[in-house]
Amino acid sequence: MTFLNDLTPSSLSQAIPTLWDPKVRLDAARKSFFGKFVGNERSNMPIIERKDFTQEPGNQINIQIMSQLLQEGVVGDTTLEGSEEQFTLGQISVTPNVLRHAVAINWRAKKQINFDAIMGIGNVLSSWLARRIDEDMWLELLITDAPATMYAGNASSIATLGPGCTFGTDEISRARVAMERQGALPIKTVIDGEGEVDWYGCVISEVDAYQLKQDPIWKANLQYADPRGKANRIFTGAMGEYDGIWVYVYRGVKFSGRLGSYLRPEAQVSTALTSGAATIVVGTNANVNYTKFFTSAGTLLIGAEQITYTGKTNTTFTGCTRGANNTAAASAAVGALITQNNVGSAFFFGAEIAARAWGLDPTRITDVRDYGYEQGIGIMSYYGQRAIANSSGTMPNAVVMNTYSPNPNNV
């Protein structure tokens, strides 16, 4: 008989893999922001996913994408034979790579570890995996294969963004026109069992969401178009739809000094900053990428001071020129917020914006030493993601709009 307190590695070895692997995989899919937009080939969803577990890391997995028909067809008694349009399936190749992460366990902890603790490690690894998948996708969508770029308000460039260029309903309508003019594939949804409705999506940061909520047209849209009562989104705080575009919020993470997202880069001063310092320290753990979401060079904003920089590491901004653009160089205390000069990005999308391929579902791995004691529990998978771009390197089904995105608070 195995008692409840008999939690040696041998007694857990059969139960843990059976429950742990699918739980991590399903939890990661549920926690991932882009999980709600995933579909199979020809599903007309934004993220087209394919699994091919016969592949090895580094092998390409080919994914079919939609191809529009362009010819006129024939009318009346005109012979169709010989005038058919050749149907071709577009194809994008994604190369999965190995992704691994693990949680270390010291020997004493292993003597006391129990089933719940191991499942708890699976929970934190699934959260890590979901965040990593989302951040890899944002890197593809916003940096690697950048879509056409617009600017909020009356701005014509990032440098001209200012207080009149926050995100609002006019920006949503302008972006819809831009999507339609470049022939973006809409996402189709059946409403209440009736006909299909074409719509696009938009993802914004929590700061741009705050700005949108100040727009009186947005408020009126929710007040009068949504159902009356407590379910109205004015009271729930959820975002909604405007001009056929559903608005979603992707919130920047904040933990252990790491802030922001690719939609709104943020960091914070971790070593008190003097007015003449040419290096800005933003973190203390060299294994954590505190500057991940910032461009490789650009302009920072700390308080009222603009600072240009020419390089970055995981924990620092380097080559800084203080008091840029006629601002005054100033000292900054630990915890002071750093932004990419208050620049945000609103991402508008239709169907088939990216492809995702899996060569191996997330799988439990262990590091066993010292006569059978597990000293690490980790996760391994083969996967890859790639934005769907045309021959000119632009994304036909997406548009990005840069916004003036000031933090409304001091935290």
Contacts of 393 (CB under 8 A, 6+ apart): 145
- Report H helices in 9-161: 9-12, 15-31, 107-112, 115-139
Query: How many other C-beta atoms are found inside a 10 Å radius of the C-beta of residue 288?
Result: 15
For residue 143, give both structure tokens.
Answer: 């940096």
pLDDT value for 271? 95
pLDDT value for 110? 47
Element holding 213 (H helix, E strand): helix 206-213
Q: What are phi and psi of 156, to 5 degrees?
A: -115, -5
**What's the CATH number for 9-66+89-146+354-387?**
3.30.2400.20
pLDDT value for 383? 76
pLDDT value for 373? 56
pLDDT value for 6? 38
Backbone CA torsion sign across 191, 183, 350, 212: negative
Sequence spans of domains, the chain: 9-66+89-146+354-387, 266-339
Asked if 268 and 289 touch (Cβ cutoff 8 Å), the reply is: no
pLDDT value for 25? 66
Neighbour-count burial for 315-339, b at 16+ CB within 10 Å, e otherwise: bbbeebebebeeeebbebeeebbbb
Residues 62-100 pLDDT 10s: 666 655 555 566 566 677 666 665 444 455 666 666 666
Residues in the chain, pLDDT under 50: 1-16, 86-89, 107, 109-112, 234-237
**24, 29, 33, 37 alpha-carbon torsion, rounded to 10°:** 170
pLDDT value for 4? 35
For residue 284, give both structure tokens.
Answer: 């203390």
